[in-house]
Structure 1
Amino acid sequence: MAVLVTGGARSGKSSFAEAYAERSGDSGIYVATSRIWDEEMAERVANHRLDRERSGFPWRTVEEPLDLAGVLAGIKGELDRHLRSDEARPPVVLIDCLTLWLSNWMFKLEEDGLPDKRLNEEYRKLAEAVEGYPYPLLLVTNEVGGGVVPAYPLGRRFRDEAGRLNRLMAQLCDRVFLVTAGIPVELKSIAFKWENL
């Protein structure tokens, strides 16, 4: 079952996703998409890793800024081969976060002079990997379209692409949580349905 957790910066979405994982499995695989660009980011990453260690929940961390589809395929293959039928619960995979993954791809496209359509190909690969992943999966993302319109073209494009990516992942996930001020609300259960009009 795939679950999407979204919210604004410092809304509590990652903490909620980690707590959800801890209640859904006996162990977890934390897929971190962040790149370390500077000292402040290195400190953030170190603090997040320390928080996971202190939680007492057994996390294995995988750092992957670009190839999320490949990571999911690799984990699926590993679990298919090694997961015993008598094991109560498979490890929960938590990907944190999709918007960092998106920004990594946007920078790569710009740096390498790749065509913009490559982003659609990466969306397709990720969507297929999420749809084909049979074990518990949590995806963390950011809501970035609720604020001020960015003043520069790349910022506007990022906002638009993040919205597209979030909509795609929400369609694929069984549950979608919006976390605001630390309060999670499950959106699919309260979503408007056209047949009720």
Structure 2
Amino acid sequence: MNVARSELILGGQKSGKSRRAELLARAWLRAAPGHRATLIATGQPWDDEMRARIERHQSDRAERVPGLATLEEALRLPECLAAHSRPDHLLVVDCLTLWLTNLMMPAEGKGLPADVLERSIVKLTQSIVAAPGPVVLVGNEIGLGVIPLGREVRAFVDMLGRLNQAVAASCTRATLMAAGLPLTLKDEA
């Protein structure tokens, strides 16, 4: 399994997205003794179920990919990529969907306006392109289903589609996961 300079991994719930990102991180760590890898987690423990899910993911990751460090960053993702990217350091972002949720629908108040969200997406894509080390980004593809009810949910689905398109355009590889199987959508590696 070869690691691209940047890869977007999209898929539905439990499609194998995170597992592919972990396999890439494991391959990166094994490729050279000086390699490092960090998972940038964007999820927040809003409730008991989410806290338990985060703890389970941390435990499972530690078993599957020893040596993969974890950093939590719910909002300032472009700045986090810029601060931590190094040629010998793979960054895994899991996941873009939760990052956008944090920006649009924060638990403690009103989300960012659309123009600020668009600028945040531009900053993210610029940080991906400028990253001196490899970056793997995980996100959900939720635009294949029915049109959701409710203005806010439709706005979220639309913005997530724009985010996914922008990130895919800025990455050297884009992969769609389904049933645990990768389908390469783009590979400029």
Q: CA deviation at 1:112?
A: 4.2
| Corresponding residue SS for 2:182 | strand
Counterpart CA distance in 2 for 1:3 and 1:113 is 28
**Counterpart residue number, 1:86:** none
Q: 2:15·2:177 contact (CA, 8 Å) conserved in 1?
A: yes
Q: Please report the TM-score for the alignment, with normalisation by the length of structure 2.
A: 0.89
Match of 2:37 among 28, 33, 58: 28
Name which of structure 1's ranges 179-188 and 49-58 shifts more when overlaid on structure 2: 49-58
Given the alignment, which residue of 55, 61, 64 partners 1:46? Answer: 55
- Code of the residue aligned with 1:30 in structure 2: it is L
Q: Which has the higher helix share?
A: 1
Partner residue of 1:61?
Answer: 70
- 1:105 pairs with 2:103: yes
Residue 179 in structure 1 maps to residue 183 in structure 2? no
After superposition, the Cα gap between the structure-2 partners of 1:51 and 1:109, relative to the gap in structure 1 and judged at 3 Å, is closer
Structure 1 range deviating more: 18-27 or 32-41: 18-27
- Secondary structure of the residue aligned to 2:131 is coil
Q: Separation in 2 of the partners of 1:38 and 1:100?
A: 14
**Higher strand fraction: Structure 1 or Structure 2?**
2
How many angstroms apart in 2 are the aligned matches of 1:167 and 1:12? 20
Q: Following the alignment from structure 1 to structure 2, what is the Cα–Cα distance between the partners of residues 100 and 157?
A: 15
Give the counterpart of 2:154 among 152, 156, 159.
Answer: 156
Question: Given residue 154 of structure 2, which amino acid in structure 1 is its aligned partner?
Answer: R
Deviations 1:100-136 (A, max 9, x none): 1001100249924753211011111111111100211
Unaligned runs of 5+ in 2: 30-34
Show the counterpart of 1:126.
124
In the other structure, the counterpart of 1:15 is 19
- AA aligned opposite 1:160: D
Taking structure 1 as the reference length, what is the TM-score of the superposition? 0.85
Q: Percent of pairs identical after alignment?
A: 39
Instruction: Rate the CA distance shift 1:172–1:142 in 2: closer, same or farther, 3 A.
Output: same
Question: What does residue 135 of structure 2 align with?
Answer: 137
Q: Unaligned regions of 5+ residues in structure 1, if any?
A: 80-88, 190-197
Secondary structure of the residue that 1:94 maps to in structure 2?
A: strand
> How many aligned positions are there?
179
